[in-house]
């Protein structure tokens, strides 16, 4: 685990910095994700578990790192994982085909990865039938 | 006998009554009466539950000191088993947890929050309410001496809010509900009177239904939902009735059906109608985490904290768990029992090597964990009470924070209070999780200020827990799809050799503590049967 960063939770940071998040995010309330670029999708969805530096995290359980990850070499591997989920990772089939293309190509060309053969829209469309629907259940 | 029962129920507890019935009419009659009362029960939990007669020296290793693990330990120990629990955290309770001033919490990624709430104030980052029919968890609250108070779910004075409706001005729940139901009642009455529903409603029922609609929808003599005493006494007045010369009320104008429909606010009218949301609900005095803390105190001799299980192996004679001390470190150690009850969440268990059947292993792999985020905000004063007559309960908003919930305790107290400033699930929760804790707090404050402008001057300090970042669950709850249930649920419940799983994820009540309790009881009952009867 990295060095803990101390957060002074009492301090309100500049409202302007948050305004962007809030406006973009408010649009999400009714389901689905409204982000277009691979970077935006990563930073608002995937980063929750794989972390901002894509190095993953470790506690009683772990999130694998996507940084310098040889498994991303196979273009359709991350596509299938996003559409179907795997073990503790829920499916993100609420992302559109275009969004899946964007985010997968983003992780395959950032964080120390630079794999050729960008994933195409047709490839994602071809795998869409295997997507697993994620049920958003309200906790108690 | 019925005379005894009728009189007795007035003043006696059910147990006393049973004993009396037993004495007067014999045990057979007692059991007959018990089962007839049980038929009326709203829960699979049976208060008479108890195991006994463990074989001499038999031992059970329990993994995880959440509610499922501690119920198993307590009941198995009572039955005569030797038990021990391994727990990753430095405290007991698992998801049953409250955060108080002075606590620190480090989420995955390494950010540590130092909770700065005043003494006595807290956030329940996970469970916060106990439905009346969750008789299992309520039973253990009583057993542990956990004092319960009312959890106010439905508050007609709280708000429903949409950014795009009524100029972004929050509407009282009571007005939305009254106006929607009034308009629907009026519509239906019209159809009835114009004989448009003659096929569906007999002539005889029609008259009754008209009366019922007038009653239900607060309609006037002419079956119209209009400005007047009837509607205002549901939705509220412009000038409220009072005493003396100032007491003459002014009625308020209902909102037209079309405006309610377009506003989307109708979406929350039924928010309190599901059984777990129906009154009466409870909360432990002092925070939900009191249950897990007291349970832990009771079992402290058998719980080993700071122990991260990294491998689970069974053989012909028992089960060995390999664990690492998360504080002292050192080489992996082992703990062994003849049998094992494993309550580690499936999210984490899917990453722990364990030799169980492929069917059970596949079941463990099939449960992704849901997203949820809660944000607690300390305010300098209880402005929702002082300025807006809101005492507990919930405001719903179509902003990303989804919910503002007001404390259901210490009403009218001067001084500070902690609001639940956000409670999200689904995509919104994933987005919240991707923020830093400070960003989550700021977002909740900014959204809340659109409903309560007082936030801008009264907010002091906050704490944010996003469940996918919780190191010891990797998520809020097991989200079973219907397909996964059909394929895997029975398999995950089986006793696999010497191992049985229990916990919220091994229940049909996901994301409720009752699921953890009843799954544990079901698992150890079957395990005990297997051990004693083979
Ligand atoms: C946001 C939210 C809201 C909720 N609201 C409600 C509510 O209002 N009412 C209600 O009744 N329920 C509610 N719940 C559900 C409730 O919290 C759970 O159903 C219940 O607490 C689960 O108990 P458990 O024993 O199955 O699991 P847990 O409490 O998660 O216990 C599992 C234990 O295993 C430990 N562990 C994990 N990995 C390891 C390891 N490798 N080695 C050793 N130990 C390990 C964990 O630290 C933990 O203590 C809510 C949950 C959440 C997250």
Chain-centroid distance, C-alpha B325: 32
CA distances from A19 to A23, B163, B364, B406, B442 (A): 6, 15, 40, 25, 9
Q: Which residues contact A50 (CB under 8 A, 6 or more apart)?
A: A56, A63, A64, A65, A66
The DSSP H or E segment spanning B193 is helix B173-193
The domain containing residue B77 runs over which residues?
59-89+290-368+480-532
Q: What is the largest CA-CA distance in chain B?
A: 87
Judge if the beta carbon of residue B66 lies within 6 A of ligand 1: yes
Chain B residues with CB under 8 Å of A66 CB are none
Burial of A12 (0-12, 13-18, 19+ CB in 10 A): middle
How distant is the Cα of B210 from the closest Cα of chain A, in angstroms?
37
CATH, residue B490: 3.50.50.60
Backbone angles phi, psi at A20, to 5 degrees: -60, -50
Q: Are strands B329-337 and B111-114 parallel, antiparallel or unpaired?
A: unpaired
Neighbours of B14 (CB within 10 A): 13
A12 pLDDT more than 50: no
Task: Please tell me whether residues B230 and B316 are part of one structural domain.
Answer: no
B239 close to B249: Cβ distance less than 8 angstroms: yes
In terms of domains, do B486 and B355 share one? yes
Contacts of A128 (CB under 8 A, 6+ apart): A83, A97
Protein residue closest via CA to atom 4 of ligand 1: B127
Report yes or no: B104 and B112 within 8 Å, Cβ to Cβ.
Answer: yes
For the CA atoms of A78, A80, A85, A87, the dihedral, rounded to the nearest 10 degrees, stands at -80
**CATH code for the domain in which residue B403 is found:** 3.90.660.10
Structural contact between residues B388 and B157, judged by C-beta atoms closer than 8 angstroms: yes
**B35, part of any domain:** no
The verdict on B485 and B445 lying in the same domain is no
What is the CA(A135)–ligand 1 centre distance, in A? 20
> Ligand 1, atom 21: nearest CA belongs to which residue?
B95
Verify whether the Cβ–Cβ distance B443 to A21 is below 8 Å.
yes
Does A10 contact B at CB distance below 8 Å?
yes
Interchain proximity B431–A28, CB inside 8 Å:
yes
The protein residue with its alpha carbon nearest to ligand 1, atom 34, reads B64
* Residue B195 within a domain: yes
Q: What is the least distance, in Å, from the CA of B44 to any CA of chain A?
A: 18
Chain CA centroid to CA A63, Å: 12
Same domain, B363 and B374: no
Q: How far is the CA of A67 from the centre of ligand 1 (A)?
A: 30
Q: In the A/B pair of chains, how many CB contacts fall below 8 A?
A: 190
- Tell me the best of B45, B61, B63, B64 to mutate to test the pocket of ligand 1, counting ligand atoms within 8 Å of each CB and taking the most: B64
The CATH number for A55's domain is 1.10.760.10
Exposure of B32 in the CB half-sphere (CA atoms within 13 A): 8
Q: Which chain B residues have a beta carbon less than 8 Å from that of A139? A: 126, 370, 372, 425, 476-477, 511
User: Tell me, what's the pLDDT at A98?
Assistant: 98
Distance B149 CA to ligand 1 centre (A): 22
Rg (CA), chain B: 27
Is B289 touching ligand 1 by the criterion CB < 6 Å? no
Closest CA to B393 of B107, B226, B154, B166: B154
B49, two tokens = 């539950």
From first to last of its 534 residues, chain B has per-residue pLDDT tens of 333 334 434 445 555 555 555 565 555 555 555 555 555 678 899 989 999 999 999 999 999 999 999 999 999 999 999 999 999 999 999 999 999 999 999 999 999 999 999 999 999 999 999 999 999 999 999 999 999 999 999 999 999 999 999 999 999 999 999 999 999 999 999 999 999 999 999 999 999 999 999 999 999 999 999 999 999 999 999 999 999 999 999 999 999 999 999 999 999 999 999 999 999 999 999 999 999 999 999 999 999 999 999 999 999 999 999 999 999 999 999 999 999 999 999 999 999 999 999 999 999 999 999 999 999 999 999 999 999 999 999 999 999 999 999 999 999 999 999 999 999 999 999 999 999 999 999 999 999 999 999 999 999 999 999 999 999 999 999 999 999 999 999 999 999 999 999 999 999 999 999 999 999 999 999 999 999 998
Please tell me the residue having the least CA distance from ligand 1 atom 7.
B127
CB contact at 8 A, A108 and A64: no
Q: Do B441 and A9 touch (CB under 8 A)?
A: yes
Structure tokens at A139: 């906790």
Instruction: State residue A138's pLDDT score.
Output: 86
Distance from CA of A126 to the nearest CA of B (A): 22
- Beta strand B148-151 with B281-284 is antiparallel
In this structure, is residue B26 part of a structural domain? no
Range of the structural domain that residue A102 is part of: 4-137
CA distance B475 to B309: 18
Cβ B232 vs Cβ B252: under 8 Å:
yes
Q: Is A21 on the interface with B (CB under 8 A)?
A: yes
Q: How many domains does chain A have?
A: 1
A132 interaction partners in chain B (CB closer than 8 Å): 481
In a domain, B513, yes or no: yes
The reported pLDDT for the residue numbered B237 is: 98
Q: Are B486 and B343 in a shared domain?
A: yes
**B334 SS3 class:** strand
Judgement on whether residues B258 and B183 belong to the same structural domain of the protein? yes
**What's phi and psi for B101, nearest 5 deg?**
-55, 135
Residues B380 and B465 in one domain: yes
Say yes or no: B465 and B400 in one domain.
Answer: yes
First to last CA, chain A: 31
Q: Name residue A86's beta-bridge partners.
A: A89
Q: Is the reported ipTM for this assembly greater than 0.85? A: yes
Q: Which of residues 54-113 of A touch B (CB under 8 A)?
A: 57-63, 85, 87-91, 94
Question: At B220, which CATH number?
Answer: 1.20.1440.240
* pLDDT at position A30 over 60: no
Q: Are B231 and B251 in contact (CB under 8 A)?
A: yes
DSSP B229: H
Query: Which residues does B292 contact at the CB level (< 8 Å), separation at least 6?
Result: B65, B66, B67, B70, B91, B92, B93, B94, B96, B97
Same domain assignment for residues B364 and B374: no
Give the residue on B whose Cα is nearest the Cα of A55: B109
Q: Residue B400 and residue A28: Cβ atoms within 8 Å?
A: yes
Cβ distance B308 to A137 less than 8 Å, yes or no, reads no
* C-alpha to C-alpha distance for B406 and B426, rounded to whole angstroms: 22
Residue B427 falls inside a structural domain: yes
CA of B305 to the centre of ligand 1 (A): 16
Distance from CA of A17 to the nearest CA of B (A): 9
Going by C-alpha positions, the residue among B512, B520, B497 that lies closest to residue B343 is B520
Q: What pLDDT shows up at residue B29? A: 59
- Closest ligand 1 atom to Cα of B510: 19
Select from B127, B141, B148 the residue to mutate for testing ligand 1; criterion: most ligand atoms less than 8 Å from CB.
Answer: B127
Chain A residue with minimum CA distance to B127: A140
Task: State the closest ligand 1 atom to the C-alpha of B86, by its place in the atom list counted from 1.
Answer: 43
Residue B422 gets the label, from left (phi > 0), alpha (psi -120 to 50) or beta, of: beta
My answer on whether B219 and B302 are in the same domain is no
CB-CB under 8 Å, B400 with A29? yes
Clarify whether residues B463 and B420 are in a common domain.
Answer: yes
Tens of pLDDT, residues A84-138? 999 999 999 999 999 999 999 999 999 999 999 999 999 999 999 999 998 778 8
Within 13 A of B454's CA, how many CA atoms are on the CB side? Answer: 15
Check if the beta carbon of residue B422 is closer than 8 Å to that of residue B443: yes
**Among B434, B469, B504, which residue terminates a domain?**
B469
Tell me, using a 6 A CB cutoff, whether residue B519 lines ligand 1: no
Looking at the partner chain, which of B443, B470, B510 has a beta carbon nearest the beta carbon of A22? B443
In a domain, B408, yes or no: yes
Of residues A13, A48, A139, nearest to B477 (C-beta): A139
A22 CB neighbours in chain B (<8 A) are 399-400, 443, 446-447
Domain count, chain B: 3
Distances in Å between the Cα of A4 and the Cα atoms of A97, B88, B115 are: 37, 19, 15
Determine, for residues B369 and A88 on separate chains, whether the beta-carbon distance falls below 8 Å.
Answer: yes
Same domain, B195 and B316: no
């Amino acid at each position: 685990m990295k060095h803990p960063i101390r957060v002074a939770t009492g301090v309100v940071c500049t409202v302007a910095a948050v305004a962007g998040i809030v406006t973009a995010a408010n649009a999400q309330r009714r389901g689905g994700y409204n982000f277009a670029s691979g970077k935006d999708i990563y930073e608002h969805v995937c980063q929750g578990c794989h972390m901002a530096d894509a190095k993953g995290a470790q506690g009683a359980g772990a999130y694998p790192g996507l940084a310098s990850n040889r498994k991303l070499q196979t273009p359709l591997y991350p596509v299938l994982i996003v559409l179907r989920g795997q073990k503790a990772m829920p499916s993100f089939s609420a992302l559109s085909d275009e969004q899946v293309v964007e985010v997968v190509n983003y992780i395959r060309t950032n964080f120390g990865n630079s794999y050729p053969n960008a994933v195409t829209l047709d490839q994602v469309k071809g795998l869409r039938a295997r997507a697993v629907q994620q049920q958003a259940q309200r906790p108690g | 006998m019925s005379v005894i029962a009728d009189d007795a129920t007035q003043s006696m507890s059910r147990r006393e009554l049973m004993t009396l019935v037993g004495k007067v009419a014999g045990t057979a009659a007692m059991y007959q009466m018990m089962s007839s009362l049980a038929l009326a029960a709203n829960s699979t939990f049976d208060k008479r539950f108890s195991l006994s007669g463990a074989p001499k020296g038999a031992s059970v290793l329990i993994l995880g000191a959440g509610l499922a693990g501690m119920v198993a330990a307590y009941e198995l120990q009572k039955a005569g088993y030797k038990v021990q629990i391994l727990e990753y955290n430095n405290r007991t309770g698992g998801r049953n947890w409250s955060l108080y001033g002075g606590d620190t919490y480090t989420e995955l990624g390494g950010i540590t929050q130092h909770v700065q709430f005043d003494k006595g104030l807290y956030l329940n980052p996970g469970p916060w309410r106990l439905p009346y029919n969750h008789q299992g968890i309520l039973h253990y609250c009583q057993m542990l001496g956990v004092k319960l108070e009312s959890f106010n779910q439905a508050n007609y004075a709280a708000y429903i809010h949409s950014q795009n409706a009524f100029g972004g001005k929050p509407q009282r729940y009571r007005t939305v509900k009254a106006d929607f139901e009034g308009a629907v009642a009026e519509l239906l009455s019209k159809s009835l009177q114009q004989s448009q529903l003659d096929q569906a409603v007999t002539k005889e029922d029609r008259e009754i239904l008209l009366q019922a609609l007038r009653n239900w929808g607060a309609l006037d003599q002419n079956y119209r939902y209009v400005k007047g005493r009837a509607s205002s006494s549901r939705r509220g007045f412009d000038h409220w009735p009072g005493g003396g010369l100032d007491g003459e009320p002014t009625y308020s104008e209902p909102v037209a059906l079309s405006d309610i429909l377009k506003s989307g606010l109708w979406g929350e009218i039924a928010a309190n109608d599901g059984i777990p949301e129906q009154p009466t609900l409870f909360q432990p005095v002092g925070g939900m985490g009191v249950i897990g803390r007291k349970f832990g105190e009771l079992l402290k001799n058998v719980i080993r904290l700071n122990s991260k299980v990294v491998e689970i192996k069974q053989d012909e004679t028992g089960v060995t768990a390999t664990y690492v001390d998360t504080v002292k470190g050192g080489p992996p150690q082992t703990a062994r029992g003849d049998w094992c009850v494993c309550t580690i969440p499936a999210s984490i268990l899917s990453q722990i090597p364990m030799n169980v059947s492929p069917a059970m292993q596949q079941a463990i792999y099939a449960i992704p964990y849901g997203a949820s985020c809660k944000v607690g905000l300390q305010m300098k004063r209880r402005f929702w009470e002082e300025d807006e007559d809101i005492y507990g309960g919930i405001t719903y908003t179509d902003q990303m924070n989804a919910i503002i919930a007001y404390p259901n305790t210490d009403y009218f107290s001067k001084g500070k209070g902690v609001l639940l400033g956000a409670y999200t699930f689904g995509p919104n929760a994933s987005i919240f999780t991707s923020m830093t804790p400070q960003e989550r707090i700021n977002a909740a404050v900014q959204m809340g200020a659109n409903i309560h402008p007082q936030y801008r001057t009264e907010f002091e300090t906050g704490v944010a827990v996003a469940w996918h970042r919780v190191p010891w669950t990797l998520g809020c709850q097991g989200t079973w799809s219907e397909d996964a249930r059909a394929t895997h649920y029975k398999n995950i419940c089986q006793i696999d050799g010497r191992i049985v799983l229990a916990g919220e994820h091994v229940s049909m009540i996901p994301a409720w503590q009752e699921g953890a309790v009843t799954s544990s009881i079901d698992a150890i009952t079957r395990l005990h049967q297997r051990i004693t009867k083979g």
